[in-house]
Amino acid sequence: HQIIFRCILDLFEKSRGVDLVTLTEELNTKNLLEKVEGVTYLTNLINSVPTAANIEYYIKIIEEKSILRNLINNATKIISMGYEEKEDAKVLLDKAEHLIFEVSQRNIRQSFVPIKELITDSYEKIEDLYHREEFITGVSSGFDEFDEITTGFQPSEFIVVAGRPAMGKTAFCMSIAQYASISKNTPVAIFSLEMSKSQLVQRMLCSEARIDAHNLRKGRLAEKDWAPLSMAAGRLASAPIFVDDTSGISCLEIKAKARR
């Protein structure tokens, strides 16, 4: 069937009609006619062609079988890589996750899109932005002047916060993470290569409660600090923030964890 289908595609690409005669000739030219059991089998195929009435159902069956075939092929690759032991286990684990993830991604990959469709979508978004009362169109940082410049963090953006040591980069990023998760209920993942989970949490608690971090580290909190600290702990506990402080984490591990 694969051979027959390839020949049908070849005929189509040559802008030739596809019927029993042209297909037989194409197969014969390529010395493949006997391999597909000759003209008799082609005739039987034509006579057993299902009607176009159920075409959507047939397409769905083909798509499902394709997914299963890809899953089997990638699973076989994973098994082979495991037995060969040519690479580090962590690298193999990342490759295995990528292969499985790839199967699901194939179903949502897009091809070329006519600009007419893109213009329509873009115009609708522009209209939506025009009718909005607020000027923030992405995820707000909590800093009004910063948001006025960026209009918020937009999907698919890659943003780098750079600066010399002890300039407040971590404090700035943590403040944004807190605001996005607590005020806007936006899920936030934090990979910390320098500070431990407990240190990050203490910083967030102090920031949210607006208490002196130095006093907290010394265990010298004032009586008035406990109420705001307790309320801050409650807000942070219900926020969708996820922290990973794995030391020496690699890009492969970050990719794998973010993928999950």
Residue-number span of the structural domain to which 83 is assigned = 2-106
Among 47, 78, 106, identify where a domain stops.
106
Task: Return the HEC string of 98-133.
Answer: HHHHHHHHHCCCCCCCCHHHHHHHHHHHHHHHHHCC
Pair (125, 12) in one structural domain? no
CATH number, domain with residue 7: 1.10.860.10
pLDDT at 72: 92
CATH number, domain with residue 191: 3.40.50.300
Q: Are 254 and 245 in contact (CB under 8 A)?
A: no
pLDDT at 17: 84
The residue ranking higher by pLDDT, 96 or 129, is 96
Secondary structure element (H or E) that encloses residue 47, with its range = helix 38-47
Q: How many domains does the chain have?
A: 2
Pair (87, 146) in one structural domain? no
The mean pLDDT of 97-126, rounded to a whole number, is 76
pLDDT at 108: 57
Pair (177, 145) in one structural domain? yes
pLDDT band per the 50, 70, 90 thresholds, residue 53: low
pLDDT at 178: 92
109: pLDDT strictly greater than 60: no
pLDDT tens digits for range 152-191: 888 888 899 999 988 989 889 999 999 999 988 999 999 9
Pair (91, 216) in one structural domain? no
Pair (243, 155) in one structural domain? yes
Among 52, 86, 106, identify where a domain stops.
106
Pair (102, 125) in one structural domain? no
Among 60, 88, 106, identify where a domain stops.
106
Sign of the dihedral defined by the CA atoms of residues 227, 228, 233, 234, in that order = positive
86: pLDDT strictly greater than 90: no
The mean pLDDT of 8-24, rounded to a whole number, is 87
Contacts of residue 243, defined as CB under 8 A and 6 or more positions apart, other chains included, come to: 190, 192, 197, 200, 201
Pair (169, 206) in one structural domain? yes
Q: How far apart are the first and last CA of the chain?
A: 38
Pair (149, 252) in one structural domain? yes
Pair (77, 120) in one structural domain? no
pLDDT tens digits for range 216-240: 888 888 889 899 889 999 999 999 9
pLDDT at 52: 66
Pair (188, 98) in one structural domain? no
Pair (60, 121) in one structural domain? no
